[in-house]
Amino acid sequence: MLTYQAEALRDLFTAVVRQNVSPEVWKWLSEKVTPAGDTRQFNIAFVSAPRKTGKAVVQVTKEQDAAIREAGAGLNITTWTTDRLCRIWLLFSLDHTDREKYFQTIEQLFLTAEVNELVALYSALAVLPYPEMWVKRCAEGIRSSIGAALGSVACNNPYPAAYLDEQAWNQLVLKAIFTDTPLNEIIGLNERSNADLAITLSDYAHERWAAHRFLNPLVWRCVGKFINAAIFPDIERLNASPEDYNREAAALACYDSGYLPAQELLNKNPNMKSSIASGQLSWETLAEKMKNYVLQS
């Protein structure tokens, strides 16, 4: 389960909000902190926030970023806009002593939300009280056809890895792959990888290859630990590829694997094995390479 430090996060969010808005906007936000039982002012502020706060990307110091990640179980706000940050700060202020009323208030926000409001709500899943109540909402976000909504669920958000069951988690990863959502921004990707997902991704690779379609080499990040006799031919195919990114993916998958033939295959390329051991080659560096590859394509 997700463990975050609510009071520390609120204090950190408050500091980041104050350095990203004018004193006048801070005064307006502070006045919208609602007394227990009164949500009218909160709803008005939540909807109208962008007109007051603007939509610039938030400025966060390295120290604040590190502290928020620590207090928020990996939560990353460095790509958030000011209106998203302020909306989530307002959510911190919402009275939640009455569990059912709190649930209905948040549900109503989801039901009436436009795109940017949905982004804020999905981003807030990791810090909302009663986290077990939002599993269905998280799963709905995965099914969303709105790219920004899916991104706010899948990317830099610790909630899915902590609360989704295996089937829903696998759906998230597959949806991310199908929509070119950055896999390296999915928190818990390594820890939540599983054998069923590995088999599905192997089947997906076969379909892409048969259709002569590009296959993102990062999909093999979820496969390495589950290489077996059935999957190993895929890795051999990658290793024989003319594209260096495929060979690097094969090496990284083999490095993650305990399957003896995979280890033997990696040992045939000692330079690449050494690069992995030293950190020069990793799934993160491969993700950066593929980002540049897509930009150049």
Check residue 202 and give its pLDDT.
Answer: 98
* Residue 6 within a domain: no
CB 172 within 8 A of CB 142: yes
Check residue 125 and give its pLDDT.
Answer: 93
- Which residues, in sequence order, are CB contacts of 186 under 8 Å at separation 6+? 154, 155, 160, 161, 172, 173, 176
* Residue 4 within a domain: no
The helix/strand/coil state of 281 is coil
Check residue 35 and give its pLDDT.
Answer: 59
* Residue 247 within a domain: yes
* Residue 211 within a domain: yes
The helix/strand/coil state of 81 is strand
Check residue 297 and give its pLDDT.
Answer: 47
In the chain, the number of structural domains is 1
* Residue 167 within a domain: no
Distances (CA, A) of 25 to 21, 54, 93, 270: 6, 10, 16, 58
| Tokens of residue 4, six digits | 């975050």
* Residue 224 within a domain: yes
Gap between the Cα atoms of 91 and 85, Å rounded: 10
Distances (CA, A) of 263 to 61, 195, 267: 42, 19, 6
* Residue 65 within a domain: no
Report the DSSP beta bridge partners of residue 81: 57
Task: Provide the domain limits for residue 197.
Answer: 193-297
* Residue 43 within a domain: no
The burial of 285, by beta-carbon neighbours within 10 Å (0-12 exposed, 13-18 middle, 19 or more buried), is given as middle
Taking only the tens of pLDDT, the chain with its 297 residues reads 667 787 888 899 999 999 999 999 999 988 887 655 567 888 888 999 999 999 999 999 999 999 999 988 888 999 999 999 999 999 888 888 889 989 999 999 999 999 999 999 999 998 898 999 999 999 999 998 899 999 999 999 999 999 999 999 999 999 999 999 999 999 999 999 999 999 999 999 999 999 999 999 999 999 999 999 999 999 999 999 999 999 999 999 999 999 999 999 999 999 999 999 999 999 999 999 998 775 454
Gap between the Cα atoms of 23 and 93, Å rounded: 19
